[in-house]
Structure 1
Amino acid sequence: MELTFAWHALLLLFAEVILPPLAPSWYPDLGATLVNAVCAAGVWLVLWRWGWLRVSAVAVLGRPHRWWPAAPMLLIACSYAVAGLDGSATVIVSGLVSLLWVGINEEIYSRGLVQQALNPLGPIRAALGVAVLFGTGHIQNFLFFGDPLDDTLWQMLSAGLFGFTCAGLRYAIGSVWPMVVVHGLDDFFQIRSPGSAPDWWQASVLVFQAAYGVWLLRRYGAEGAQSSAEVIRSSPSSSPSPSSSPSPDERPEGDSQARA
């Protein structure tokens, strides 16, 4: 809970207080890009400080032969592009880059940092915790960014189930980066679509995400959680935690270097 509050506070601080509105004609989403890049850098530094870059699946690419479980979520994301894309070339490129940064920021925070913090609860409870915290966090769209309440409640539900499925994918793949791509494209195609997807399709997606998330956790959850525990045990330092973080000399080799 504290991690979630701190991340959202940092996001709002940079979006509403520190950074001025930045929307030049050559890059309309410059402000949003900078906010998400700064917040992502902050999460990366926390993971580095705690020695969690590898164990949180952020500084690794996982098992490439297991990237296939992300394919259904990628197909769902691309389905929102069937109706085409709305906007000029500048707006489309700007939005794509910006929303990929949203994917980076939110995945390394939620499926990286938060999921790792909840990992001792077990894979099912950790995934449910990620879903609740990630979905609830979207209440900020109503409180601070002027979205209607009914739209925000729908966003909270859909984001929660999306986060639940991505939590299962993290255990299956061992890396957050495939979900970064899925997350960014899902947001991009939905936002730039000239119209909303039919209600029946959106409802079907929610049902699928819930069922697929459960299957992923039953199939890969225990193995994924065990792999994280083994990485911690194989580390020269004791198990990293927010209250007991390793010194720079004790961290596993490779965790001290940030990789894009």
Structure 2
Amino acid sequence: MRTLLIFSLILLGGCSPKPLATDISGLWINQAAIDSAAQGRSLLQAIGANGLNLEWNIDTRTGKAQFSNAFEAADGQLLPNASGNWTVDYNGHGTDELQSDGTQLTQLPTKSYPGQVFRRAAQPAPAGARWGTTFRQALNAAYMAGKWKIIEGPGAGNTVEFTADGRLSGLTQNDRYELCLGGGCATQGAGNDTLLLGNVYSGDGFIFVRYGKRMELLKQINLSRPDEIPQLTPGPRQWLLEKQ
């Protein structure tokens, strides 16, 4: 009888299930790219050095995983796998593998892309916001938000204020801005950092150069013909701003 009991316990131990994958539900952002940019360096270089994807939005209950980067957003089916990680299947068009220790989310490297690390967003964007908004607002808060003094240009001596949600005041008639994070705006700008300044009626693109607490906003010169894709190069300086 004693022998049978021991044998039964061994069988039960050998059949014990593997631990379930860590629940990774929530919004995760590429904090490394934000921290790098916040040092006052080139924005596109900071993003390029820290991976392609900028944000993950994951719901393990519904089995959905959405990612966004500088030029696209897509979703896939999320499933736990035998290794204790999670697999994102893009309807047969490739997969990604995710793992988490509860503090950070790691997108494991593939043959085509290096690995990336994400952290939970401290302030997720409101429900219904477009994909990537959480990353963009966290980036704006670290990179642009706050008060800047106009050192040179129209309104010299005045104070300009940028907010994390893309609003702007004190820079002529502009009341909103949007940083270029990659894609077409970066390609047309020949890899220069660019942003859009505007209001409800219109907007203009500028090339900007950030070095520490100072930032130059330069007019864009289009080198292409009217029927060609714009190719923009830095023109005269419109403003020189200094972070306060």
TM-score band, normalised by the shorter chain?
under 0.3
- Name which structure has the greater RCO, CA cutoff 8 Å, separation 6+: 1
Q: Normalising by the residue count of structure 1, what TM-score does the alignment of the two structures yield? A: 0.25
Q: Give the TM-score normalised by structure 2.
A: 0.26
- Larger helix share, 1 or 2: 1
Higher share in strand: 2
